[in-house]
Amino acid sequence: MTTNVLILGGRGRIGSQVAADLLAHTAAAITITGRNDSARRIPDLGPRVKFQTLELTDQAALTAAIRALRTVGTDTTKNVVVHCAGPFHYRDASVLKACIDAGVNYVDVSDHPSFTRKAIALRSVAEAAGVTAIVNTGIFPGISNSMVRQGVEQLDAADRIHLSYVVAGSGGAGITVMRTTFLGLQRPFQAWFNGQWQTVKPYSDRETVEFPAPYGRTGVYWFDMPETFTLPNAFPVKTVITKFGTVPDFYNYLTWSVARWWHPRLLQTRVVIEFLSQVSHFMTDVTDRFSGIGVAIRSEVTGQKHGRPTRHVATMVHPNTAIAAGYGTGSVTQLLLSGTLTKPGVWAIEEALPTNLFEQTMQERGVTIAQRLVPD
């Protein structure tokens, strides 16, 4: 049986890492797309990977590319479209809708709440079509959310989730990540805190968190992420905190100053976002050689275990953020291709991926997630 994967935005840093992961862990034939033939070339990934020019705004071409997955292979229900064409702040759910209409499973690396809400709104339609669609599957959100699920399942009852992320320099993920960071500063957002929704300012309330080596004590700030609302929807907790930081630390202060002092209308202008992104990308090109491009995640779930207050703390470190994101998305796609994971509807990753399968696929990729229970 031949299985097929269409990776939208597959020439980007994260999309190409998803392709590399699938080559290592599946036998699927892979098509990667880009807007034009003059886009940056990716390394030769071998005969199982081909390139297709595709502009996502061309709905007819997009629909044809997705429907073409049903004309090859012997089990079309196990073919998958992987959406890596960010930033997702600007995306609608047209790709997902086309997948549902074609009866093709769907995975994405989306990282913005507005897009996630658009996708989840199609849950009943996808379920009726028998399509499994899983969103937020990269590194954060993605692997991070599954680490939270690990913690919730280790406790008898969970009350509070605190997720912290730190990325070194660019994270090896290209300019799209820079755009995502500055787009996340555009406006205050709603966070689930003490059993109610409260307004939070982006990149506010600095907190020093202890990450594993080589990061140690690092500053993190409130950041608008999909897990801010998907986690309280998945688990009956009273508080969800999502905070993000970078190293070197002066990048945090630069980002904080933009969030604090720049007029909101400037941050809602594409030309300003592009200017900030290009400058930041230039700076990280210089500092990456000193800081590295890695990522660390710390998940802390607080609740009860055997009648006692207990915290579950999980940490994960990887030297390349883009590769780690490829692991997260590639592992979910692998499970869909094999038929091991099937859940019709549209789901955030923590709702769809059982912990045993998460741990199995991470072990296959050599990813270590350190866990401990800490009585309070």
pLDDT attached to residue 277: 86
Give the residue among 226, 60, 224, 69 at the shortest CA–CA distance from 134: 226
Give the residue among 291, 190, 174, 284 at the shortest CA–CA distance from 241: 190
Q: For the chain, what is the radius of gyration of the CA atoms? A: 20
Q: Spell out where 153-281 has E strands.
A: 157-168, 189-193, 196-200, 207-210, 217-222, 239-247
What is the per-residue pLDDT across 131-145, written as a single tens digit (0 to 9) for each? 999 999 999 999 999
At 142, phi and psi to the nearest 5? 145, -105
Q: Write down the mean pLDDT value for the chain.
A: 92
Q: Name the pLDDT band for 39 (thresholds 50, 70, 90).
A: very low
Angle at Cα 249 formed by Cα 244 and Cα 253, nearest 5°? 80
What is the per-residue pLDDT across 314-366, written as a single tens digit (0 to 9) for each? 999 999 999 999 999 999 999 999 999 999 999 999 999 999 999 999 999 99
What percent of the chain has pLDDT above 90? 74
Q: Round to whole Å and give the CA distance between 62 and 99.
A: 10
Residue 37 has pLDDT above 70, yes or no: no
Q: Name the pLDDT band for 74 (thresholds 50, 70, 90).
A: very low
At 274, phi and psi to the nearest 5? -70, -40
What is the per-residue pLDDT across 271-306, written as a single tens digit (0 to 9) for each? 988 898 888 888 888 888 889 999 999 999 999 999
pLDDT attached to residue 305: 97
Task: List, in sequence order, every residue forming a beta bridge with 303; answer none if it has no partner.
Answer: 158, 310
Full set of structural domains in the chain with CATH: 4-138+324-366 (3.40.50.720), 143-321 (3.30.360.10)
The rounded Cα 198 to chain-centroid distance in angstroms is 24
pLDDT attached to residue 38: 52
Residue 328: Cβ within 10 Å count: 33
Q: What does the pLDDT average to over 81-105?
A: 93
Could you give the C-alpha distances from 146 to 139, 163, 225, 239, in angstroms and in order?
10, 11, 15, 17
pLDDT attached to residue 42: 53
Residue 73 has pLDDT above 60, yes or no: no
Q: Residues near 63 by Cβ (< 8 Å), separated by ≥ 6?
A: 98, 101, 102
Task: List, in sequence order, every residue forming a beta bridge with 348; answer none if it has no partner.
Answer: 135
End-to-end CA gap in the chain? 52
Buried b (16+ CB within 10 A) or exposed e, 102-114: bbbbbbbbbbbbe
Query: Residue 331 has which token pair?
Result: 């592992």
Residue 101 has pLDDT above 50, yes or no: yes
Q: Name the pLDDT band for 71 (thresholds 50, 70, 90).
A: low
Q: Name the pLDDT band for 40 (thresholds 50, 70, 90).
A: very low
